[in-house]
Every structure is written in C-alpha cells, then in structure tokens.
Amino acid sequence: TKQIYTFAEGNMNMRELLGGKGANLAEMTNLGIPVPHGFTITTAACHDFQHQHVLSQGLQAELATALSTLAATTGKRFDDPVAPLLVSVRSGAPISMPGMMDTILNIGLNDTTVDTLAELTQNPRFAYDSYRRLLAMFGNVVYGIPEQRFDDILTTVKQAQGYESDLDLTTADLQEIVTQFKGLYHDTDAGVFPQSPKAQLEAAITAVFASWDNHRARVYRAQNHIADTLGTAVNVCEMVFGNAGCDSGTGVAFTRDPATGAHALFGEYLMNAQGEDVVSGVRTPQPVAALQESLPAVYDQLVAIANKLETHYRDMQDLEFTIEHGHLFLLQARAGKRTTAAALQIACDQVDEGLITRDEALMRLDPEALSDMLHPEFDPTILAAATPLATGLPASPGAAAGQVYFTAQAAKEAADAGKKVILVRQDTSPEDIDGMIASAAIVTARGGMTSHAAVVARGMGATAVVGVQALSVKDDQATIGDHQLQAGDWLSVDGASGHLYLGELPLVATGVQNSLTTFLNWAKDRATMAVYANADTPKDLQRALEFGADGVGLTRTEHMFFQPERLIEMRRMILADTPQARQAPLAALEKMQEDDFYHIYKLAGTKSVTIRLLDPPLHEFLPHDDREIQAVAKQLGMTRTDLTARVAALKEVNPMLGHRGDRLAVTFPEIYQMQVRALMHAVVRLDHEGLTVTPHIMIPLTNTEAEMVAMRDLVQKVVTTIAAGNRLNVHAEIGTMVETPRACVTASAIAHGADFFSFGTNDLTQLTFAYSRDDVASFLPAYRQQGLIKADPFQHIDQAGVGALMQLAIAGGRQTKPELPIGVCGEVGGDPQSVAFFNTLGVNYVSCSPYRVPVARLAAAQAAI
Ligand code: ADP
Ligand code: MG
Ligand code: MG
C-alpha cells in the first residue's frame, strides 16, 4: 500500500492516515491557500516502523519518488549547487499533541549548501542562522544532545559580545557557533553531523517515528486519553524562511481569542525569526494586530485566509504562518485549543452567525469541562484592597493560591505530598508536562499568549500567567522586582487579570454568565432526561436553581439535624426511654423541620422537591469518645455511666447494614410521623400563601412490598389527617429509593406501593459489589492497577452489574405502572458517561450536587443527540 501522499493528494478526511497536520496541509493546498510543497508519510508507515525499527525498503523507494516529485514542483533538489532543496521534517499524529513530538527545520543544509544559500539570498547571516538551528534541532532530536548544551554555547557567545538579543549575532558569530555546535556531535554514535541531506532526512524521519514513544508524549497521551496505538505521520515540507530578513517573520494566529472567545483575529508574531521562536518564548512576540501597520497587505491576506478556513472547517482555527520576503505561507491549521469560557462563547456566537447548528454547538463542549466555568475566583472585595506584586499576560483564566516551586519535578513532588502548587518558571517546555499537570497554576517570566505554558494550561483548564517581565527564575530562587521568592512561599495567581499577589488570597464561587445560561437552555430543550439537584438546605437549593436545576431529586433530612441546637433534641429523642419522654424533643424537632421544609418548598416554587425521610443509623447522632460523652451527659442531665451504656447499646457492628433507613420507622414510627407532620404543616402554610405544593416523600432502603405498603400507610395516614384538619385538598406522592439488590429484583411488587422510584446508586453499588464505600480505598487502587476493574464504580456506574440490576428494576416497576417516574440520585447522577447510560435505560431524571447540574445537563443533551 501507498505510504506517501503529496499534499495535493490528501484531504481533511484522511487524518487517521495522514495525521491532523498532514490532512490539513493537504486540505489547505486544495483550497488554494499558499502552503509550501511537500508530502506526508502515513501513520501506517509508523506502525511498520514500530515493529521493524528501521525504514523499510518499500518506504525508502517511495521516499526517492516523492523527492523527485518535490524537485519537479519546486525546481529544487538536495545538494543542488544552484537551487538546493531544504525541508522540514514534522511529526503529526491523528490527534493534536502540541509540542509533544519533534520537528526538525532546515534539513538539506551542510557545509556546502549553506554557502550556496548565502550566495543565493545574498544573505550569509541568514544562511548560517538556519544552519545553526538545524545543527541544534537535529542534534537534540536525532542524538538526544540536551538543548541546554546548544543554548549554553549561544549564550556564551552573546555574553562575550555583550549582545541583548539573538538578532545581534553577526555572520561571523554564527559561523563560530556552527563550529562549536558541530563539536557537540563528537560524543554521539556518528561522531559528526551527517553532511548528506538524504542521510539527514532519513535520520530525521526515523527520529520522529521514534518520538511517538518518548516519555513526554506518553505522559501527554495518558493524561488526554489518547490511544498509544495511533502512531504519528511525518510531514516533509519545503522550507520557507521567516528569518530571511526584516520583511520576513513567523507567527501563530487564532481565528478567535482562545481565552475569551472574542471574534477577532488573535495571535502573535516575530519578525526575522524561525519556527519555534514564537512558541518557545525565547523572545517576547508582538500581537498580530501590529502586522496591520508593518505589512498591511499580508495582514489583510491573513485575515481573509483565517475567515475562509473558519468557514470551511466550521470551527475556530489555530494557524501557523510564515512570511518570507513579504509572501505569506500557511504551515498549519487545526481546531484551536481554547478555555471552556471561550469554547462556550464561540459555540454560542457560531450558532448566532449561522455557522453551526445548536446540536453541533452542544456537542462542541466537554460536559466535564463545564464545571470549569463554575470555578472560584478571588474574593472581589479582598482583591480590590490587595496590591499586585507583579503582572503578566492573563493566559488562562481561573484563580489559584498555592506554594511556589521552580522545577517541574519539585512541583510534582510537592503536589504528591498534598500541597497546592504554583509552578514558577523562566519558561516551560514540553519536558515540564508532569509538573504542569500537578500544578494549580503556572507562572512564567517569558513568552506570550501562545507560548507553550499558555497553550498547555488552557488545554488543562489550569490557571496561567505568562510573560511576567518583573520575574526572574534561577535554580531554586526567584525574584519579582526586588522581592525574593523561595520555594514553598505562598503566591496567589489571577488568570483573568494576570496579577500575582504575595500570600494566600481567599477564593469565592463565581456566578453564572449569560452565555452559559443560553447554552444550558439549549441543552435543556434538547435533552429528554430532566436534571434535578440534591439539595439539603435552602442555600444548596438556591445554587442549584441558579445552575438551572429542574427540581430537587433528593433532600437528605438528616443533614438538618447536625446543627448544635437540633443535635441536642435529636439526642434527647434517641436516648428517651419511653414514647412519652420522646414527645418533647420530637415536638422541638418538628418545629425546626417545618421551617426547613417551608423555606425549601417556597424557594422551589412550582418545581418538584423530593424529601427523603431519615436514613442513617441513629448512633451516628450520638457522642463517640469519653470527652464528648461527658459533655453531652451534662447537657442532657444524664449520668456518664448511663449515657455510655446507651451509646454502647446502640452501637452496631455493620451500621451500613444495620438499623437504618425505613428500619428506623419500623421500630420508631414516631420519627417518620414527625417528619411528615412537619412537611405537611409547611405545605399548609404555603397553601395559605397561595402556593400549592405536591410533596414528594421518599422512603429509603425499602426491600419488600410489605415494607413499602406499611411505610406508605404510615405516611399517608399523617398526610390525610393534616390535610383533612386544614380542609386542604393535597395529594402526596409517596415513593421509594431503590438501593438494594432485592428491591431491584422484586421491583414489580414494590411498585404496587410506590408512586415513584429513585435509584440510590451509592448504596446500590455498595451492596451489589459488597464494597463498603468508606473502605474501598484500601483495595480498589490495586484492582485498578491490576486491571481487575476498569473504573471506580462509585464514580462511573458499573453498567454490566449495577446497571443490569437497574434495568431489571425499571422493567419490573413499569410492568406494574407503565408511567412510573424513575430517577437516579447519587454521585454518578452528575457523571457524564453514567448520564449517557441512564438515558439509554429510559430514566426520567438524574439528580446530582448543584455544581454538577450544568455538567449533567449537557451530558443529557449529548446523550439525546
Ligand atoms: P508542532 O507540531 O510542534 O507545532 P511543527 O511541525 O508545526 O511543530 O513545526 C514547528 C515550527 O516550525 C512551527 O512554527 C512551524 O510553523 C515551523 N515550520 C515547520 N515547517 C516549516 C517550513 N517548511 N518552513 C518554515 N517553517 C516551518
Ligand atoms: Mg505546529
Ligand atoms: Mg442510600
């Protein structure tokens, strides 16, 4: 099979075979956009290489043909004394991995062609500048000579001459540098830099294929869930020169702002520079808008191409361009990485512009990433009073406070030790990936908005401030202005403003922006499943409503009992010897619960709220150690011995399997009766205020039909009595949690007594696996390491086991009551992949914590598309 495609032969749909870069170079070529000539070696050839570790005969033959075709189209060939061909060799996987693999520029230069190029261009400085770059890149990528050794030589020459910038280097300096660079090859296998362009090309291709398996590429793939089997393509591309003089340059541009989503060409460039100079942060570049003044025709052409590409790809594009003597060339186009805020803005704008449909917009965002939007920011009042220590470019939004570390490794170690870490660097390189992942924020002294640090941080959703001029980092110390910063010092980083503050500033939660509201409304229209919130207090509910919850799927009443003034009544009630002694504390609790219910229902208005009656084992409310027992005994007017004895009597060996859930009501019916009375009194009050409420009352942990019917009768009796007493025509929905395997298996019977089901996936998972949720940490990691279990079933629903039980329960429930409403509450109700699964089961709603509501909402919409 064919292993090489010219750019003219490929297209954007061939990304699997040609990699993203190759497929898009081909697509742009065919769109008539100026792209240098070249060809792509396929990912299939890479697979081949992974097995044989050499370039096959077949590939070498195709390579020879491709080179002669390139010679025919460009009029240049390797080692030609008049028109020498120079190329870049560029990696490009099917999924973009920015900066993770290798590229070598200026292949084809050697001791002879460098002078040909000098003569041809009348620019020896340029020729030797290109040569030293080749020597450094080739030495690093092919022979693994550390970049630092090349940099050191460059720096030494610059310092000796007293230069500020690379641009000050003269031809003679560059020739000296070339000689010294060649010296570094003495330690390699070959001992010399290969002079044959063909040998250079083959070695470069081999190295790029091999770079698929280098450490940083593997870490990046693991982090981004990219398959190790994809392999990389290799692009061989005729060189164009951004370092050919002052009418030349190189840059990167985004068709929209990748941090905010604003619709304007955004980017940076450097005049008289090549390739990586912009991204690496070696020199701080100029904003692309400045090009409008220096080279207006080029700027207009770039804008036109940007628009054309965005319309063609129907998505925001990240472009690499080079200007050679005033001629513009595109070297790369790909869907641009962006912050979640930008992704949201762009998706909404593109719908308004008619570029994409709402469904496409909904598919563009990762549900999990939506939670970024809800990330905290620094407390604005404290921020207003704080003085920034320094300011850089706001490269990736968010706010983080943490302890500073100056190397990726130190950052990672500190993070592993449980610290919040800010990675502070002169600049970052792909080798720093481990440390960047571990950090809450990244700060660099050099580089622009498209520097490596900025791009990677935005991709990870980490806060970043780059190009902080006042910062200088050396070894284990940094200075900001005249302030000394030591490893471990606290720093607060504001990614929205670019400000840095000494110390730890407090964070507060952010509100919901307009575009998010619009977007979530689209999601709501599209989803077939509703999204409810688990909310125990009016404050939780308030937040959930702001995030667009359709109702409350779970109010855990026990959380209301842990406030001190309630806890004491609760204890008094539990410890009472006789039903009579229980009356007073129950009455006190009832009053407090009534207020809670009143406020929750009032806030929810016409939205449905499901109240779950008391669930946890009673002894959870009791004091545990001697000191606590002593204090509580005094509070309740009991002797210490008596209290100790009572606590001991209530203690259980397996509380999770013990006296909890509706078992409490079988032995102490007064508790549930009290709760329902409180609820009904709240309903009566609200009715007087003109709000008609249909309470949903949920029984936890039901196992049998008889149990369900008994609980239902108990609840219904209270409802009827209070309704009648207040001449109120109210109907209560009485349903059950489905959270034991037995309940799932006998769901058709239980449904006779239940108006609705709600899966308690936490308990159901616990009981299905016989894994105690509180104890899994001691063995689950080993299961995962050994591949015995794919994912933590408390994070992602176990479809084959727990999911099958749910399926059985749904079928059973709806056999008895075809319209039975069914929900899911529990941690996985907010997990996108679990939500998608529940959608296939025909669940009516999921209920999750308020912050997960937007995530679940989008996941539900995507499941329906
Ligand atoms: P990456 O995948 O890391 O972005 P690239 O292969 O795109 O690596 O190349 C790195 C840099 O070199 C980019 O700035 C790119 O524009 C530049 N470059 C690559 N090939 C050429 C070429 N043929 N002529 C000029 N510049 C090039
Ligand atoms: Mg690139
Ligand atoms: Mg439960």
pLDDT band at 835 (very low <50, low <70, confident <90, very high): very high
pLDDT digits (tens, 9 = 90+) for 555-573: 988 777 877 788 899 999 9
- The CA distance from 555 to 369, in Å, is 27
Single out the catalytic residue among 46, 237, 744, 825. Answer: 825
Shortest-distance ligand to the CA of residue 98:
1
- The CA distance from 232 to 16, in Å, is 9
Helices (runs of H) and strands (runs of E) counted in the chain = 35, 31
pLDDT digits (tens, 9 = 90+) for 204-242: 999 999 989 888 888 889 888 888 889 999 999 999 999
Tell me, what's the ipTM?
0.95
pLDDT band at 489 (very low <50, low <70, confident <90, very high): very high
Q: Is the CB of 36 under 6 A from ligand 1?
A: yes
Task: Kindly report the number of other CB atoms within 10 A of residue 81's CB atom.
Answer: 9
Judged against a pLDDT cut of 70, whether residue 281 lies above it is answered with: no
Lookup: tokens for 590 = 């009832």
- State the distance from the centre of ligand 1 to the C-alpha of 90, rounded, in angstroms: 7
Q: Is the CB of 317 under 6 A from ligand 1?
A: no
Judged against a pLDDT cut of 60, whether residue 512 lies above it is answered with: no
CB 596 within 8 A of CB 681: no
Q: Is the CB of 133 under 6 A from ligand 1?
A: no
Pick the CATH number of 527-560+595-617+679-864 from 3.40.605.10, 3.20.20.60, 3.30.2270.10, 3.40.50.12500: 3.20.20.60
- State the distance from the centre of ligand 3 to the C-alpha of 462, rounded, in angstroms: 35
Which ligand 1 atom sits nearest the alpha carbon of residue 92? 2
3-state SS, 312-323, equals: HHCCCEEEEEEE
Which CATH architecture best describes the domain 1-108+196-239? Answer: 2-Layer Sandwich (3.30)
CB under 5 Å of ion ligand 3: residues = 739, 760, 763
Lookup: tokens for 710 = 């008994």
- State the distance from the centre of ligand 3 to the C-alpha of 739, rounded, in angstroms: 6
- The CA distance from 673 to 129, in Å, is 85
CB under 5 Å of ion ligand 2: residues = 320, 332
Mutate-to-test residue for ligand 1 from 76, 102, 319, 331, highest number of ligand atoms within 8 A of CB = 331
- State the distance from the centre of ligand 3 to the C-alpha of 733, rounded, in angstroms: 19
pLDDT digits (tens, 9 = 90+) for 663-708: 999 999 999 999 999 999 999 999 999 999 999 999 999 999 999 9
Lookup: tokens for 588 = 């006190």
3-state SS, 144-213, equals: CCCHHHHHHHHHHHHHHHCCCCHHHCCHHHHHHHHHHHHHHHHHCCCCCCCCCHHHHHHHHHHHHHHHCC
Determine if residue 488 is left, alpha or beta; phi over 0 gives left, psi from -120 to 50 gives alpha, anything else beta.
Answer: left
CATH 1.20.80.30 fits 111-194, yes or no: yes
Higher pLDDT, 706 or 371: 706
Residue owning tokens 């000539």 = 37
CA quadruple 490, 492, 495, 497: dihedral sign: negative
Q: Tell me the H-state helices in 531-668.
A: 538-546, 564-575, 579-604, 626-636, 640-650, 663-667
- State the distance from the centre of ligand 3 to the C-alpha of 6, rounded, in angstroms: 61
pLDDT at 522: 97
Single out the catalytic residue among 46, 237, 348, 452. Answer: 452
Instruction: Work out the burial of residue 782: count CB atoms within 10 Å of its CB; fewer than 13 is exposed, 13-18 middle, 19 or more buried.
Output: exposed
For CATH 3.50.30.10, list the domain ranges present in the chain: 376-508
For the chain, the distance separating the N- and C-terminal CA atoms, rounded to the nearest angstrom, is 37
pLDDT winner (highest mean) among 47-61, 386-400, 487-501, 735-749: 735-749
- The CA distance from 803 to 817, in Å, is 21
What is the rounded (10 degree) CA torsion for 99, 102, 103, 107? 160
Which CATH architecture best describes the domain 242-338? Answer: 2-Layer Sandwich (3.30)
pLDDT band at 161 (very low <50, low <70, confident <90, very high): very high
Lookup: tokens for 101 = 């693999």
3-state class (DSSP) for residue 787 = coil
* pLDDT, mean over the chain: 92
pLDDT at 551: 96
Mutate-to-test residue for ligand 1 from 25, 105, 138, 334, highest number of ligand atoms within 8 A of CB = 105
**Which protein residue's CA is at the shortest distance from atom 8 of ligand 1?**
103
Mutate-to-test residue for ligand 1 from 237, 272, 332, highest number of ligand atoms within 8 A of CB = 332
**Which protein residue's CA is at the shortest distance from atom 17 of ligand 1?**
275
Radius of gyration of the chain (CA): 33
| Nearest partner of 620 among 576, 590, 664, judged by Cα | 664
- The CA distance from 844 to 842, in Å, is 6
CA quadruple 453, 458, 460, 466: dihedral sign: positive
pLDDT band at 511 (very low <50, low <70, confident <90, very high): low
CB 823 within 8 A of CB 756: yes
For CATH 3.20.20.60, list the domain ranges present in the chain: 527-560+595-617+679-864
452 is catalytic: yes
3-state class (DSSP) for residue 7 = coil
Superfamily for the 376-508 domain = Phosphohistidine domain (3.50.30.10)
Shortest-distance ligand to the CA of residue 233:
1
Shortest-distance ligand to the CA of residue 762:
3
3-state class (DSSP) for residue 647 = helix
pTM of the model: 0.80
- The CA distance from 710 to 730, in Å, is 21
Once rounded to an integer, what is the mean pLDDT over residues 439-447?
Answer: 91
pLDDT digits (tens, 9 = 90+) for 135-147: 999 999 999 999 9
Lookup: tokens for 790 = 């794919």
Higher pLDDT, 27 or 273: 27
Higher pLDDT, 52 or 755: 755
Q: Is the CB of 240 under 6 A from ligand 1?
A: yes
pLDDT band at 347 (very low <50, low <70, confident <90, very high): very high
CB 210 within 8 A of CB 144: no
**Which protein residue's CA is at the shortest distance from atom 18 of ligand 1?**
275
pLDDT at 561: 80
Q: What share of the chain is helix, strand, coil (3-state, %, to 5)?
A: 50, 15, 30
For CATH 3.30.1490.20, list the domain ranges present in the chain: 1-108+196-239
For CATH 3.30.470.20, list the domain ranges present in the chain: 242-338
Q: Is the CB of 544 under 6 A from ligand 1?
A: no
pLDDT at 608: 96
Sheet order of strands, 4-6 included: 4-6, 38-41, 233-238, 87-92, 103-107
825 is catalytic: yes
Higher pLDDT, 826 or 320: 320
- The CA distance from 332 to 28, in Å, is 9
Q: Is the CB of 275 under 6 A from ligand 1?
A: yes
Question: What are the beta bridge partners of residue 317?
Answer: 335
CB 529 within 8 A of CB 846: yes
Judged against a pLDDT cut of 70, whether residue 279 lies above it is answered with: no
- The CA distance from 587 to 594, in Å, is 11
pLDDT at 375: 66
**Which protein residue's CA is at the shortest distance from atom 15 of ligand 1?**
275
Bridge pairing between strands 441-444 and 507-508: unpaired
CB 460 within 8 A of CB 433: no
CB 299 within 8 A of CB 281: no
Give me the half-sphere count of Cα atoms (radius 13 Å) on the Cβ side of residue 34: 15
Percent of the chain clearing pLDDT 90 (strictly above)? 72
- The CA distance from 446 to 467, in Å, is 4
Once rounded to an integer, what is the mean pLDDT over residues 384-406?
Answer: 91
- The CA distance from 67 to 252, in Å, is 28
Judged against a pLDDT cut of 80, whether residue 451 lies above it is answered with: no
Non-local CB neighbours of 653 within 8 Å, separated by 6+ positions: none
Q: Is the CB of 103 under 6 A from ligand 1?
A: yes
- State the distance from the centre of ligand 3 to the C-alpha of 707, rounded, in angstroms: 16
Q: Is the CB of 99 under 6 A from ligand 1?
A: yes
- State the distance from the centre of ligand 3 to the C-alpha of 762, rounded, in angstroms: 6
pLDDT at 280: 65
Q: Is the CB of 257 under 6 A from ligand 1?
A: no
Higher pLDDT, 850 or 458: 850
Bridge pairing between strands 507-508 and 499-502: unpaired
- The CA distance from 739 to 746, in Å, is 12
**Which protein residue's CA is at the shortest distance from atom 11 of ligand 1?**
275
Once rounded to an integer, what is the mean pLDDT over residues 325-339?
Answer: 94
Sheet order of strands, 286-287 included: 286-287, 266-271, 249-254, 317-324, 327-335
Judged against a pLDDT cut of 60, whether residue 470 lies above it is answered with: yes
3-state class (DSSP) for residue 554 = strand
Mutate-to-test residue for ligand 1 from 205, 322, 325, 327, highest number of ligand atoms within 8 A of CB = 322
Task: Kindly report the number of other CB atoms within 10 A of residue 753's CB atom.
Answer: 22
Q: Is the CB of 236 under 6 A from ligand 1?
A: no
- State the distance from the centre of ligand 2 to the C-alpha of 318, rounded, in angstroms: 9
Judged against a pLDDT cut of 60, whether residue 509 lies above it is answered with: yes
Lookup: tokens for 479 = 């200075």
Q: Is the CB of 239 under 6 A from ligand 1?
A: yes
